[in-house]
Amino acid sequence: MGRRYCARLKQGDGERWVEHSAGGRRFFAFYGEREFDERLVAQGFTVLEGWIADDSLGRPERWINRLATADRELRIEDRRLSSRFHRRSAVVDSERSADA
């Protein structure tokens, strides 16, 4: 069995900036279960287990949880993984333009 991987993503569609309770904003890209599973499998992961959970702080969001394995060691700087898994973001691009 390969390396184990655990992920927890917000369920939903689209992407947006969310005000953080500690101040500032955080960017979220939302996913559906099928979209996330397809992306994991396309990158060489085998999904072992998956479930949807309510937000632990009582917020209205739900979270997609996945446990998976990978047959090779993955690194953050792995361009093949990050470029194929990344969704181009018009929201982030417009935010960067405004800051420049």
pTM for this model (two decimals) = 0.66
pLDDT on residue 78:
52
Q: In the chain, how many domains are there?
A: 1
Domain carrying residue 86? 3-99
pLDDT on residue 84:
47
pLDDT band at 77 (very low <50, low <70, confident <90, very high): low
Digit-coded pLDDT (tens) for 7-56: 999 999 999 998 887 888 989 889 999 999 999 998 889 999 999 999 88
In whole angstroms, give the CA distance from residue 70 to residue 40: 9
CA nearest 49: which of 35, 60, 29, 65?
Answer: 65
